Structure 1
Amino acid sequence: MDFSRVELSADDQAFLDEIRTFLATHVTDDVRRRDRETGDNFDHEVHVAMGAAGYLEREYRPEAEGGFTRLQRRLWALEKRRVHVPWVTWGTTAIVAQSVERYGSPELREEVMPGVFSGHVRLCLGYTEPEGGSDIATCKTRAVPDGDGWIINGSKMFTTGAHNCRYVFLITNTDADAERKHKSLTMFLVPLDTPGIEIQGIRTVDGDRTNIVYYSDVRISDKYRLGEVNDGWAVLRGPLDVEHGVTGANPDGLQDVSIMSHQGNFMGTTVDTVSVLAGRPGPDGRRLIDDGSAAYRLGRAAARIEAALATPHMYGRVALAQTMRDVSPDLMDLLGSASVLPTYTDGAIDDGASEYLYRWAPLCGIYGGTLEVFRNMIAQHMLGLGRPNYSPPKAKAS
């Protein structure tokens, strides 16, 4: 492994200076405070400013089409992470926009894509249903043909960002009698200002806002259909693979190796903060780090985080989420009672970082599917083991 410092060319250094100035101007303490208060993980002014500066399109496009170079892309990602840019809604927008470009009609592409790059059009994911859990193919939200359009009825849970988005990438059931559930699905890009749509906010334990969205006799034109009728699984697979983290990283080292690296880096930064605090003398002159058990636990946490950050593909997603669940209570235990105070609270020993990490950890094992689901996917598709059997055990013969 090469730990040497990357020497930037004059052009790349100028780019780094440019984006640092831009981010310092737009991602202020007020933006970060507002994001914590709302739980939106999105800021309209910051997002539109990125669009106006051309950064959204350059991040979205490959280098051959005018996008960032590989090194610029890495610098941009790291700087956004360093200043805590509210980012989730752009993440879902970029994922869905790929499907719009690939499967949408020319009319739909013209309606959607310019606004995506200006920052005024955002897209969210309408997958999970209240009773569906992680198996999104058990979709019960119905789309029924109606002349040259469709009528949609149903509901979706955890549609994060819906209240800040223009469209939802919606999975529907268009053939209730299909023998195979994957052959009954059709994807739509539904305008969220359509009559019959109701968005209700839900706050999760880590303070983030997500939504439940109800669809009651929602009428849309067929132009909003993506792909063929009952072939929605083909449209969905690409975005789903990206969300699950099953796409491979480029071996040049200028890319996160796992989709959960954002969470992993926050976890690493929190451990660094706790380590600094552990090295400061207390009122009695003693340092926490001088206690062998405390030093061991901090070292173990740092080692596990480094190993998880270096774990690629879906394995990395599981490693990072499980590490966060294991490390976060250890950090709070080391810091003591002051670690239960949240960010922006007087007396919070590490400005609430450990407390937030502890509340964030359970959610990181649920995003896009639970840890149990991903472990089953690894066992079945990567290790060649059989499908999990959830049927009750057979009664023993008396």
Structure 2
Amino acid sequence: MDFSLVALSEDDARFRDEVLAFLDEHVTDEVRRRDRETGDNFDEGVHLAMGEAGWLAAELGVPGARELDRVRRRLWDLERRRAEVPWVTWGTTGVVFPSVLRHGSKELQDEVVPGVLDGTIRLCLGYTEPDGGSDVASCKTRAVRDGDHWIINGSKMFTTGAHNSRYVFLITNTDPAARKHKSLTMFLVPLDTPGIEIQGLRTVDGDRTNIVYYSDVRVHDRYRLGEVNDGWAVLLGPLNEEHGVVDAAGDGLQDVSIMTHQGVTMATTVDRAVEFAARPEADGSRRVDDASAAYRLGRSIAKSEAALSAPHMFGRVAIAQTMRDISPDLMDVLGSASVLSAGADGAADEGAAGYLYRWAPLCGIYGGTLEVFRNMIAQHVLGLGRPAYAPPKTPVAAG
């Protein structure tokens, strides 16, 4: 593995300065404070500013947009994360956008694409159902054809960003009698359609997600993506991206795992904990001088670096598991003040370690649980057999 630094040209250095100036102007302490309070992981003012400045179009690589070569794209990604840009709703928009271009009608593209590029339109994911778990193909939300329209009934869980989005990338069942992967049809449903109700849910880390109910929602056929009952083909690309099934580029200028954003937050939290532990206390002592504390911090750094270097689905599992492993150690080193949230008087490291501890379980279920991904690695990478979940058979007694 090559850990050498990439030397920036004068033009690239000026580009980085432009990025930093933009982020300093728009991603303020007030933006970060408001994001912590709402749990939205989205700020409309920042998002619209990114659209106006051309950053959204540049990220999507649309023709005529600001061109980001490999180095500049890496600079933009790194600095955006360091600035803590609220990102989730743009992340889901970026996942869905290629499917709109690939499978949507020209009429639908004309309706959606300009707003995505200027930031006024955001897209969210309508996959998981209240009793469906990680198996999105077991979808029970029904879409029934009625002439040029479809009538949709059902509900979706964990539709993060729905309250800040204009459309939902919705998986429906259009043929209950067919095999489950042959019964699905995808739609891009306008969320202001009558019959849609969005209810907010707070997760243990303070973030907001949603449950969305669909009651006799009438949607025109132009909002269908792909062919009827061929929704799995439409869904597979976004699912692969969300699952981290991507090949790393040889130049090292690409995220090697879909969970890199979360991994950078983890690494930043470790840095803050080390900085806090290195500060002299009232008696002149430092927590980092305690051998046990130094060992835990060192182990957390090593585990974080290893997880961030793991590619593909391995990285998704490694980062989420490492969060669970190191966050209790960080909180122990920082002491009882680590349970205080950001902004509270006396909060150690601005509540970062405590937030990581609460966030870790959720990172282990994004796009599927760690157990699902471990099974996928075992089957599809290591070539092992399918897991057997049935209870072992009781041997029959002889005689």
Give the TM-score category using the shorter length.
over 0.9
* Deviations, residues 58-94 of structure 1 (Å, cap 9, x unaligned): 1111689753111111111011101100011111101
Partner of 1:103 in structure 2? 103
Describe the SS at the equivalent of 2:51. helix
Partner of 1:72 in structure 2? 72
Question: Does the 8 Å CA contact 1:143/1:174 hold for their aligned counterparts?
Answer: yes
TM-score normalized with structure 2 length? 0.97
Q: Which amino acid aligns with 1:148?
A: D
Q: Hey, what's the Cα distance between the residues in 2 that align with 1:251 and 1:207?
A: 38
Q: Percent identity?
A: 73
Q: Hey, what's the Cα distance between the residues in 2 that align with 1:286 and 1:344?
A: 25
Q: Which amino acid aligns with 1:325?
A: R
Describe the SS at the equivalent of 1:293. helix
Partner of 2:132 in structure 1? 132
Q: Which amino acid aligns with 1:245?
A: G
Q: Compare 135-144 and 5-14 and name the one that shifted more.
A: 5-14
Q: Which amino acid aligns with 2:144?
A: V
Aligned residues: 397
* Deviations, residues 331-361 of structure 1 (Å, cap 9, x unaligned): 1011111111111110012111111111111
* Deviations, residues 85-132 of structure 1 (Å, cap 9, x unaligned): 001111110111100000000100111001000000100000000000
Describe the SS at the equivalent of 1:295. helix
**Cα RMSD (Å) of the superposition?**
1.3
Partner of 2:309 in structure 1? 310
Q: For 1:186-197, what aligned pairs fall within 5 Å after superposition?
A: 186-197=185-196
Partner of 2:372 in structure 1? 373
Partner of 2:235 in structure 1? 236
Q: Hey, what's the Cα distance between the residues in 1 that align with 2:63 and 2:272?
A: 36
Question: Does the 8 Å CA contact 1:167/1:192 hold for their aligned counterparts?
Answer: yes
1:284 Cα offset (Å): 3.1
Describe the SS at the equivalent of 2:22. helix
Runs of 5+ unmatched residues, structure 1: none
Runs of 5+ unmatched residues, structure 2: none
Question: Does the 8 Å CA contact 2:54/2:65 hold for their aligned counterparts?
Answer: no
Q: Which amino acid aligns with 2:28?
A: T
Partner of 1:55 in structure 2? 55
Q: Hey, what's the Cα distance between the residues in 1 that align with 2:63 and 2:212?
A: 37
Question: Does the 8 Å CA contact 2:55/2:66 hold for their aligned counterparts?
Answer: no
Question: Does the 8 Å CA contact 1:172/1:185 hold for their aligned counterparts?
Answer: yes
Question: Does the 8 Å CA contact 1:174/1:185 hold for their aligned counterparts?
Answer: yes
Partner of 1:85 in structure 2? 85
Describe the SS at the equivalent of 1:24. helix
Partner of 1:389 in structure 2? 388
1:31 Cα offset (Å): 0.6
Partner of 1:145 in structure 2? 145
Q: Hey, what's the Cα distance between the residues in 2 that align with 1:122 and 1:287?
A: 47
* Deviations, residues 27-86 of structure 1 (Å, cap 9, x unaligned): 111111111111110111110111011110011116897531111111110111011000
Structure 1 residue ranges, 4+ long, deviating more than 3 angstroms after superposition:
1-5, 62-67
Q: Hey, what's the Cα distance between the residues in 1 that align with 2:258 and 2:17?
A: 27
Describe the SS at the equivalent of 1:266. helix
Question: Does the 8 Å CA contact 1:132/1:139 hold for their aligned counterparts?
Answer: yes
Q: Compare 362-371 and 292-301 and name the one that shifted more.
A: 292-301
* Deviations, residues 216-268 of structure 1 (Å, cap 9, x unaligned): 00001100000000000000000000001111121211111111111111111
Say whether 1:271 aligns with 2:267.
Answer: no
